[in-house]
Amino acid sequence: MNAVVDINQNMELAPQTNAAVMPGFNSQGGWELANRIGKAFAASSLVPAQYQNNVANCIVALEMANRMGASPLMVMQNLYIVHGNPGWSSKFLIACFNQSGRFSAMRYEWKDDRSGCRAWAMEKATGEKLIGPEVTVAMANAEGWSTKNGSKWKTMPELMLMYRAAAFFVRTYAPEISMGLQTTEEMQDVVEVGPTGNVTSVTSARKPSVVMPQAKVVDQDTGEIYNKEPDPVVDDAPKKESKEYPAGALATEGERKLIINRTKNNSLDILDLIDRAGLTGMAPNLDGLTKDGFLALRDQLPKAA
């Protein structure tokens, strides 16, 4: 009988003495495991470009996935970088809310003319109907979300209203789900307006020190083309020769790609790199880069690049 008791006691103690190591920052074993997993993801061609060959980004995504109880690959596929700042796709945020178990599935109430909506859900613990802030087309126009070139507010207003209403609702009633991050649609809609009311550039939570021409980028969530170059402004005033772009031969396509690729591989912000090189007005895709500009950018890269 005593032998049976001893066996049962040993079985109860086994999970404590052989606890599984979880990837993370709290122990040496957890950190080593996180690095091994991060290297595996970084070597994969199935993860988005910002994680390929970038172990640090993979470890951050892994840590966020562990905190959310989600798949690391799912987090990587739905966490986008807009002007150097991370943001969730709206559909991912809605999915996390619906799967949290604390609320009913998110639904929407519309104005009669479909020009505005608000998100709502039932809180299961209390049975209370929770209603989020109303988002309208008039709000989008007043905030400047719909005035930039290529904005899907012009062509898909209902979808954009639902995405924004969902983001407001989650931030109001379940902010822990978003972990303090905005959605990519919110970051793309933050614009800078010039003195005459025209949209001059897209800004982010960390505004660049200079106003840059907007690159053409396709949103993988909505198909939206954002940060599109603004329409040319007609100006009859005599033009002064740009000090940033002295006359000379243009850089080759290979030289442009070299700068862009090395910037990504070193996890640098290309807007900051352009600013430090003194190339005010240069687009992130380096269109019109001269030989002198190429040399100036190359000098700003780490020596090991």
Give one DSSP letter per residue of 168-217, joined into a string. HHHHHH-HHHHTTPPBHHHHHT-EEE-TTS-EEEE--SS--SS--PPP-E
Please tell me whether residues 72 and 109 are part of one structural domain.
Answer: no
Please tell me whether residues 55 and 170 are part of one structural domain.
Answer: no
pLDDT at 178 (0 to 100): 81
pLDDT at 286 (0 to 100): 84
Question: Contact 288/250 with Cβ under 8 angstroms?
Answer: yes
Cα dist from 206 to 79, 85, 146, 283, 292, whole Å:
17, 8, 21, 18, 28
> Where does residue 54 rank: exposed (0-12), middle (13-18), buried (19+ CB within 10 A)?
buried
Tell me, yes or no, whether 139 lies in a domain. Answer: yes
List the structure tokens of 14. 């086994």
Q: Which of the 8 DSSP states describes residue 296? A: H
Q: pTM value? A: 0.51
Tell me, yes or no, whether 12 lies in a domain. Answer: no
pLDDT at 83 (0 to 100): 64
Please tell me whether residues 102 and 151 are part of one structural domain.
Answer: yes
pLDDT at 173 (0 to 100): 92
Please tell me whether residues 47 and 146 are part of one structural domain.
Answer: no
Which residue in 103, 42, 92 sits closest to 267, CA to CA?
42
Tell me, yes or no, whether 238 lies in a domain. Answer: no
d(CA 243, CA 32): 50
d(CA 7, CA 28): 32
Domain's final residue, options 182, 207, 226: 226
Please tell me whether residues 105 and 173 are part of one structural domain.
Answer: yes
Q: How many CB atoms lie within 10 A of CB 41?
A: 21
Tell me, yes or no, whether 258 lies in a domain. Answer: yes
- Find all residues with CB under 8 Å of 145, minimum gap 6, and list them: 151, 153, 160, 189, 191
Domain's final residue, options 210, 226, 242: 226
Question: Contact 37/46 with Cβ under 8 angstroms?
Answer: no
How many DSSP H helices and E strands does the chain contain?
Answer: 12, 10
3-state secondary structure (DSSP) of residue 80: strand
Q: Please give the residue range of the domain that contains residue 210.
A: 94-226
One pLDDT digit (tens) per residue for the chain, 305 residues: 444 444 444 444 434 444 577 787 778 888 888 899 999 999 998 888 888 999 988 988 888 888 877 888 888 888 877 666 778 888 888 988 998 899 999 999 999 999 999 999 999 999 999 999 999 999 999 888 888 777 788 889 999 999 999 999 998 998 888 877 888 777 777 644 444 444 445 443 334 333 334 444 545 554 454 554 444 544 444 444 444 444 557 888 888 888 888 888 887 888 878 877 777 777 888 888 888 888 888 888 876 54
Place of tokens 């898909």: 156
Tell me, yes or no, whether 295 lies in a domain. Answer: yes
Please tell me whether residues 136 and 200 are part of one structural domain.
Answer: yes
Please tell me whether residues 115 and 208 are part of one structural domain.
Answer: yes
d(CA 277, CA 43): 32
pLDDT at 18 (0 to 100): 44
pLDDT at 243 (0 to 100): 41
Please tell me whether residues 219 and 98 are part of one structural domain.
Answer: yes
Tell me, yes or no, whether 221 lies in a domain. Answer: yes
Number of domains in the chain: 3
Please tell me whether residues 215 and 292 are part of one structural domain.
Answer: no
Tell me, yes or no, whether 233 lies in a domain. Answer: no
Domain's final residue, options 81, 111, 126: 81
Tell me, yes or no, whether 262 lies in a domain. Answer: yes
pLDDT at 219 (0 to 100): 54
Please tell me whether residues 154 and 102 are part of one structural domain.
Answer: yes
Question: Contact 65/56 with Cβ under 8 angstroms?
Answer: no
Please tell me whether residues 98 and 77 are part of one structural domain.
Answer: no
pLDDT at 193 (0 to 100): 41
d(CA 300, CA 274): 9
Please tell me whether residues 168 and 218 are part of one structural domain.
Answer: yes
